[in-house]
C-alpha cells in the first residue's frame, strides 16, 4: 500500500536500549506492511496517537513497557483504547510484573503481554504479534482501490452482500448510493465494483464467489467422505479425514464458519487467552483443511439425500449430484426469527440476526439494541460497546446469570455504556424503509413503551437446518437429528440393514453420521462441535472397514 496508508505499529519504552531492540525486531519483520514508530515516554506516545487520529490514520498494534515514569504501561494502553479501540495492545513486562499483566487482560482489555527479554524473536515475539496483527487486519478496511459496494445502507440486499464479503475476509469500501449513484434504480442495487473495473449489478452470492475466485470445483467423481456444513464440526472433521488420506468434499450453503464465524469475539476457546474473532478462527480452519487437500464448495446447498447401494448421494441446489461412501451431516443452526409485529419487514434493514460484523461501521456513535441473554449476545454487546455510543440488552430472565458465562457478565458490568433491561421483550417494530422504533413490554408490569431504534441485533435461540432431511433420516420433534442409542433398537429402524446397532453419531441411514449443533442432545459449544467432528471421523473409519 502507499506510504500514507500503511497502518502504524507503535512501541513505547523509556529504556533506550530496550527501545532500540524492539524497534530493530519490529522493522525486520513488519516494515514492508506497517510503519514502525517508537517513543521513549507515555506522554510522547499519546501525542503520536493524537497526531495519527488527526490525520485519520490508525495504529494496528501498540506495545508498551509497564514500568515508566509518570504514565505506566497499563495506564497508557487504557488511554490508547479510548482513542483507538480496535488497535491491539501488548504490555512489555518483567517477570515480577506478570500478575499485574494478567489482571490487565480483563481490566483494560489487554490483548497480550510479553516478558522481557523476548529472544529469540522468531519463537517468543513474532508468533504472538503475527496472530494479533492478523486478527486486527480481519476487521480493518484499508483505503485502497479494491472492491467497492454501492448500495442503500439499510437495504436487505446490500446487507447480504456486505455480510458475505466480510465473512469471506474480502476487504471492501461501502458507498451510499444516494451520494455516489443517485440516479441508479433501486432494483439495480447494490452494485459491486471489482478492482478491474467490472460492475456486478445486484449479484447473487454464488456469482460473487465465482468472480472473486472463492468458488471451487469438485476434483473427483466420487468421494470417500462428503461433509455438509462448514461450521466448527464440519471443518474439524474435514481436517482429520483429509489428513488421514480420505478424499473429502466439504459443502457450505453460505460462508464457512457457521454461527461461530459470525461471532465478534470468542474468549473461552482453549488456546486463545485473549480471545479470537469467529471469522479469524474459522478462516484458519479453512486454510488448514485446504492445505490437506479438502475440496470446498461454497455457496452451494444440499437439498436432498438418498442412498445408492452403500453410497450416499447428495442433490445440490445447482442441479448437481455428489456421491460419497460416507456422509457427515453438520448443517448447524439458524437463528430463530422474531414473532414481534412488523419485525420481518426490517430484516437486513435495522434488524439483524447474529453479530453481522459488516454493520459495525454504521453503528459508530449510535445506540445499539441487543436481544438475548446467552453468550453470543454478551459477546456482541461487548463488541458493539467499543464502537457504539450506547448498547442496551433486552432479556426475558431476571438477570444475565441464567444463561451467560460469568466472565462475560463481569465484563458487561464494567462497561459504562452497556445497560441490561431484565424481564423485557421486544413486541413490535416500526418505521419506513428502515427500522425507526421498537415497542418494549415489561413482563413484570405488562406496561409497554416505544423507543427510537435503528440497530437491533438478535440472539433469541436457533433451530436446526434439517428440513431437507425430513423423511430421509429420523429427527426429533424439534428437527434435531437422532443418532446411536437415541434411535432405539435397530430392529425398529426402517431401512437399517446392518447386523449391529447404530454407532453413537450414526443416523438411521447406515454410513450417514452427524456432528455438531444439529445433533439431538448435543452441547452447543464450539469445543464440543470440534470434538464431535473428530469423533465422527473415527466412526467413519470403522464403518468403512466393515462394508
Are both 532 and 467 inside the same structural domain? yes
Mean pLDDT of 14-34: 91
pLDDT above 70 covers what percent of the chain?
Answer: 97
pLDDT for the residue 9? 95
Q: Choose the final residue of a domain: 404, 439, 460.
A: 460
- First-to-last C-alpha distance (Å) of the chain: 56
- Peptide bond between residue 276 and the one before it cis (omega within 30 degrees of 0): no
Q: At what angle do helices 375-385 and 406-414 cross, to 10 degrees?
A: 30
Are both 439 and 499 inside the same structural domain? no
In a domain, 366, yes or no: yes
Comparing 134-148, 216-230, 301-315, 452-466, the range with the smallest average pLDDT is 134-148
SS3 39: strand
- Under the banding of pLDDT at 50, 70 and 90, the label for residue 6 is confident
- Kindly tell me the burial class for residue 146, based on how many C-beta atoms sit within 10 Å of its own C-beta (0-12, 13-18, 19 or more): middle
Rounded to the nearest integer, the mean pLDDT of the chain is: 90
Where is pLDDT greater, at 99 or 53?
Answer: 53
Mean pLDDT of 47-65: 90
- Element spanning 278, H or E: helix 278-291
Record the pTM.
0.72
SS3 195: coil
CATH code, domain carrying 202: 3.40.30.10
In a domain, 217, yes or no: no
Domain count, the chain: 4
Mean pLDDT of 468-496: 94
* Parent domain of 205: 147-211
Sorted by sequence, the CB contacts under 8 Å of residue 159 that are 6+ apart come out as 348, 349, 352, 356, 358, 359
Are both 392 and 438 inside the same structural domain? yes
Are both 177 and 253 inside the same structural domain? no
Mean pLDDT of 7-36: 92
Q: How far is Cα 475 from Cα 357, in angstroms, rounded to an integer?
A: 33
Mean pLDDT of 351-365: 80
Sorted by sequence, the CB contacts under 8 Å of residue 242 that are 6+ apart come out as 248, 289, 292, 293, 294
Are both 45 and 160 inside the same structural domain? no
Are both 293 and 268 inside the same structural domain? yes
Q: Choose the final residue of a domain: 403, 429, 460.
A: 460
Mean pLDDT of 58-67: 91
Is a pLDDT exceeding 70 seen at residue 143?
A: no
Where is pLDDT greater, at 474 or 268?
Answer: 474
In a domain, 326, yes or no: yes
List the alpha helices (DSSP H) in 55-155.
73-83, 98-107, 121-124, 126-138
Are both 122 and 7 inside the same structural domain? yes
- Peptide bond between residue 299 and the one before it cis (omega within 30 degrees of 0): yes
In a domain, 216, yes or no: no
Where is pLDDT greater, at 65 or 274?
Answer: 65
Mean pLDDT of 156-162: 90
Is a pLDDT exceeding 70 seen at residue 121?
A: yes
pLDDT for the residue 145? 58
Are both 238 and 353 inside the same structural domain? no
Where is pLDDT greater, at 163 or 393?
Answer: 393
pLDDT for the residue 316? 95
Q: Choose the final residue of a domain: 404, 433, 460.
A: 460
Nearest to 507 by CA among 475, 479, 531: 475
pLDDT for the residue 1? 30
- Under the banding of pLDDT at 50, 70 and 90, the label for residue 544 is very high
Are both 71 and 124 inside the same structural domain? yes
pLDDT for the residue 173? 86
Find out whether 77 and 49 touch, Cβ atoms under 8 Å.
Answer: no
- Under the banding of pLDDT at 50, 70 and 90, the label for residue 267 is confident
Where is pLDDT greater, at 43 or 105?
Answer: 43
The residues that bridge with 38 in the sheet, in sequence order, are 11
Nearest to 48 by CA among 32, 64, 28: 64
DSSP-assigned letter for residue 110: -
pLDDT for the residue 4? 42
The residues that bridge with 512 in the sheet, in sequence order, are 327
Are both 411 and 516 inside the same structural domain? no
Mean pLDDT of 165-176: 84
Q: How far is Cα 379 from Cα 524, in angstroms, rounded to an integer?
A: 15
Are both 515 and 440 inside the same structural domain? no
Is a pLDDT exceeding 90 seen at residue 39?
A: yes
Using CA atoms in the order 478, 479, 481, 487, what is the torsion angle rounded to 10 degrees?
60
pLDDT for the residue 33? 85
Is a pLDDT exceeding 50 seen at residue 2?
A: no
- Under the banding of pLDDT at 50, 70 and 90, the label for residue 22 is very high
Comparing 53-57, 373-377, 415-419, the range with the smallest average pLDDT is 53-57
Comparing 227-236, 456-465, 532-541, the range with the smallest average pLDDT is 456-465
In a domain, 239, yes or no: yes
Where is pLDDT greater, at 205 or 518?
Answer: 518
CATH code, domain carrying 371: 3.50.50.60
Mean pLDDT of 386-396: 95
Are both 417 and 279 inside the same structural domain? no
Which residue reads 458507498 in cell numbers? 175
Mean pLDDT of 423-437: 95
pLDDT in tens, 302-336: 999 999 999 999 999 989 999 999 999 999 998 88
Is a pLDDT exceeding 50 seen at residue 29?
A: yes
Amino acid at each position: 500500500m502507499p506510504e500514507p496508508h500503511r497502518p502504524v505499529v507503535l512501541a513505547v519504552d523509556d529504556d533506550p536500549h530496550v527501545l532500540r531492540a524492539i524497534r530493530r525486531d519490529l522493522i525486520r519483520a513488519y516494515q514492508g506492511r506497517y510503519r514502525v514508530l517508537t517513543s521513549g515516554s507515555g506522554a510522547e506516545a499519546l501525542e503520536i496517537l493524537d497526531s495519527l487520529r488527526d490525520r485519520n490514520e490508525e495504529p494496528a498494534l501498540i506495545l508498551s513497557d509497564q514500568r515508566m515514569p509518570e504514565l505506566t504501561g497499563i495506564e497508557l494502553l487504557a488511554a490508547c483504547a479510548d482513542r483507538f479501540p480496535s488497535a491491539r495492545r501488548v504490555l512489555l513486562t518483567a517477570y515480577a510484573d506478570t500478575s499485574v499483566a494478567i489482571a490487565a487482560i480483563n481490566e483494560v482489555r489487554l490483548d497480550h503481554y510479553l516478558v522481557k527479554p523476548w529472544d529469540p524473536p522468531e519463537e517468543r515475539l513474532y508468533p504472538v504479534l503475527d496472530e494479533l496483527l492478523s486478527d486486527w487486519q480481519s476487521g480493518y478496511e484499508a483505503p485502497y482501490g479494491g472492491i467497492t459496494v454501492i448500495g442503500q445502507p439499510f437495504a436487505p440486499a446490500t446487507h447480504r452482500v456486505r455480510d458475505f464479503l466480510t465473512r469471506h475476509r474480502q476487504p471492501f469500501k461501502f458507498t451510499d448510493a444516494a451520494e455516489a449513484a443517485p440516479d441508479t434504480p433501486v432494483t439495480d442495487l447494490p452494485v459491486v465494483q471489482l478492482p478491474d473495473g467490472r460492475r456486478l449489478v445486484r449479484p447473487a452470492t454464488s456469482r460473487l464467489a465465482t468472480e472473486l475466485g472463492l468458488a471451487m470445483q469438485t476434483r473427483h467423481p466420487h468421494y470417500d467422505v462428503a461433509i455438509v456444513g462448514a461450521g466448527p464440526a464440519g471443518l474439524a472433521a474435514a481436517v482429520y479425514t483429509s489428513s488421514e488420506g480420505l478424499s473429502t468434499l466439504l459443502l457450505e450453503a453460505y460462508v464457512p464458519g457457521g454461527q461461530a464465524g459470525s461471532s465478534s469475539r470468542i474468549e473461552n476457546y482453549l488456546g486463545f487467552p485473549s480471545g479470537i474473532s469467529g471469522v479469524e478462527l474459522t478462516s484458519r480452519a479453512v486454510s488448514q483443511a485446504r492445505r490437506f487437500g479438502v475440496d470446498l464448495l461454497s455457496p452451494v446447498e444440499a437439498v436432498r439425500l438418498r442412498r445408492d447401494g452403500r453410497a450416499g448421494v447428495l442433490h445440490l441446489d445447482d442441479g448437481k449430484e455428489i456421491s460419497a461412501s460416507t456422509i457427515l451431516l453438520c448443517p448447524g443452526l439458524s437463528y430463530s426469527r422474531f414473532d414481534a409485529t412488523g419485525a420481518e419487514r426490517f430484516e437486513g434493514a435495522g434488524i439483524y440476526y447474529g453479530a453481522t460484523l459488516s454493520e459495525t461501521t454504521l453503528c459508530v456513535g449510535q445506540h445499539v439494541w441487543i436481544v438475548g441473554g446467552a453468550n453470543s449476545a454478551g459477546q456482541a454487546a461487548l463488541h458493539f460497546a467499543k464502537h457504539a455510543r450506547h448498547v442496551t440488552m433486552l432479556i426475558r430472565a431476571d438477570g444475565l446469570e441464567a444463561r451467560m458465562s460469568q466472565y462475560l457478565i463481569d465484563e458487561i458490568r464494567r462497561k459504562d455504556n452497556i445497560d441490561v433491561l431484565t424481564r423485557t421483550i421486544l413486541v413490535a417494530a416500526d418505521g419506513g424503509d428502515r427500522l425507526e422504533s421498537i415497542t418494549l413490554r415489561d413482563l413484570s408490569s405488562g406496561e409497554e413503551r416505544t423507543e427510537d431504534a435503528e440497530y437491533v441485533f438478535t440472539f433469541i435461540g436457533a433451530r436446526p437446518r434439517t428440513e431437507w432431511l425430513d423423511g430421509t433420516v429420523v429427527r426429533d420433534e424439534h428437527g434435531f437429528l437422532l443418532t446411536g442409542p437415541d434411535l432405539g433398537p435397530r430392529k425398529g429402524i426402517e431401512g437399517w440393514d446392518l447386523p449391529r446397532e447404530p454407532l453413537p453419531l450414526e443416523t438411521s441411514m447406515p454410513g450417514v453420521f452427524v456432528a455438531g449443533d444439529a445433533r439431538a442432545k448435543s452441547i452447543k459449544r464450539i469445543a464440543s462441535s470440534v470434538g464431535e467432528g473428530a469423533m465422527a471421523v473415527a466412526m467413519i473409519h470403522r464403518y468403512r472397514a466393515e462394508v
